[in-house]
């Protein structure tokens, strides 16, 4: 083993996955070796992803293809988001990882452990306002994003048109022409059948007045948080090999009809009163519903950091 490589890797476990590349890298320059160690991906992969991100930011909502790399986790477990995060992370960054709003669920803990092993020097936090990069699965944190903060989404299905058109070539043309008529028909059918649009997650959202995106399986409650906010939103679909973005201060309008306003989950009880978090008492956060030991319904903030912060006030 190259002694330089051995010295600077933090954990033997993390080396296992790069052992095969290591033989090839014996002849590489010191700079190349350093780039390979930090952030798991090699420098060429990171450059390609960063170039893709530039294009995604330049054309808000457009799905930019990229050559999604194999990662040491299965596709569908956040490889797209993880590749974006690893391409952006520097040693002065502060990272937060959440899964359904929680810092402690399995997906978040595993990704955080992987990043701490492959990105030595990066600080980890559970507090949203302290983070420079937040990787998320299916939620936008309750604390509003500030300028300079980046929210990276793990996306299973990037294209909202997939429910109405099988051919990717045709979908690309429809996106290019801003032709979302069949999506509107789908929403209208919902209205006819159920008297309201019933989509609860992955609500189609028009970005900057043109492209309609699938904002990943965030609840409707989170969709307005994409509109005209100072933070940068990056979406990575590893299996589908697509990256897209909602840049800061960009319009993000959920598709809806003029006479049917967009509605978010209200969490009202039978008397019309807004339910509060059972733990911190908050009445303005997104609530998870579960049953306690006696079978009673209990509501609690989905964002664990927000709940802890409200509790300590």
Please give the positions annotated as active site: 61, 277, 280, 301, 307
For the CB of residue 302, give the shortest distance to Zn ion in the complex, in Å: 9
- For the bound state, the minimum distance from the C-beta of residue 288 to Zn ion, rounded and expressed in Å, comes to 10
For β-strands 123-124 and 150-154, DSSP reports them as unpaired
Nearest-approach distance from CB 139 to Zn ion, in angstroms:
14
Alpha helices (H) along the chain:
3-8, 12-16, 19-24, 30-37, 43-58, 79-88, 106-118, 168-176, 181-194, 304-311
Residues that bind Zn ion (CB under 5 A): 277, 279-280, 282, 301, 307
Cβ proximity to Zn ion, 45 vs 301, nearer residue: 301
Smallest separation (angstroms) from Zn ion to the CB of 120: 34
- Is-contact 34 2, C-beta < 8 A? no
C-beta of residue 152 within 8 angstroms of C-beta of residue 133: yes
| Strand-pair category, 242-246 with 232-237 | antiparallel
Percentage helix, strand, coil for the chain under 3-state DSSP, each rounded to 5? 35, 20, 45
Considering beta carbons, is residue 97 or 277 the nearer one to Zn ion?
277
Q: CB of 308: closest distance to Zn ion in angstroms?
A: 8
Using CA atoms, how far apart are residues 271 and 10, in angstroms rounded to an integer? 56
Cα separation, 72 vs 4, in Å, equals: 24
Shortest spacing between CB 130 and Zn ion, in angstroms: 19
Radius of gyration, CA atoms only, the chain: 21
Taking the C-alpha atoms of residue 250 and residue 212, their distance in angstroms, rounded to an integer, is: 13
Q: Which is nearer to Zn ion, 171 or 279 (CB)?
A: 279
Nearer to Zn ion, 95 or 307 (CB): 307
Nearer Cβ to Zn ion, position 42 or 288? Answer: 288
What's 257's DSSP letter?
Answer: B
State phi, psi for 80 to the nearest 5 degrees: -65, -50
Nearer to Zn ion, 182 or 274 (CB): 274
Distance from the Cα of residue 23 to its chain's centroid? 35
């Amino acid at each position: 083993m190259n002694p330089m490589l051995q010295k600077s890797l933090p954990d033997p476990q993390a080396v296992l996955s790069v052992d095969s590349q290591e033989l090839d890298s014996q002849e590489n320059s010191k700079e190349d070796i350093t780039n390979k160690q930090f952030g798991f991906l090699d420098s060429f992969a990171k450059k390609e992803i960063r170039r893709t991100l530039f294009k995604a930011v330049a054309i808000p909502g457009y799905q930019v293809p990229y050559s999604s790399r194999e990662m040491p986790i299965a596709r569908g477990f956040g490889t797209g988001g993880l590749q974006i995060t690893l391409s952006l992370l520097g040693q002065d960054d502060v990272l937060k990882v959440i899964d359904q709003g929680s810092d402690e669920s399995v997906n978040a803990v595993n990704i955080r452990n992987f990043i701490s092993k492959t990105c030595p020097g990066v600080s980890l936090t559970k507090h949203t306002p302290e983070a420079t990069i937040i990787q998320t699965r299916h939620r936008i944190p309750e604390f509003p994003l500030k300028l300079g903060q980046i929210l990276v989404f793990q996306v299973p299905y990037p294209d909202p048109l997939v429910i109405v058109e099988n051919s990717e070539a045709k979908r690309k043309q429809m996106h290019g022409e801003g032709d979302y008529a069949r999506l509107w028909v789908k929403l209208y059918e919902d209205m006819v059948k159920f008297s309201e649009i019933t989509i609860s997650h992955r609500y189609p959202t028009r970005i900057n007045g043109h492209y309609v995106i699938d904002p990943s399986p965030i609840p409707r409650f989170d969709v307005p948080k994409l509109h005209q906010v100072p933070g940068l939103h990056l979406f990575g679909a590893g299996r589908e090999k697509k990256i897209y973005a909602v840049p800061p201060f960009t319009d993000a309008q959920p598709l809806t009809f003029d006479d049917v306003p967009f509605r978010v989950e209200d969490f009202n009880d039978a008397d019309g009163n807004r339910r509060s978090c059972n733990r911190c008492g908050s009445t303005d956060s997104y609530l998870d519903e579960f049953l306690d030991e006696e079978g009673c319904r209990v509501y609690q903030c989905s964002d664990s950091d927000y709940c802890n912060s409200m509790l300590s006030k």
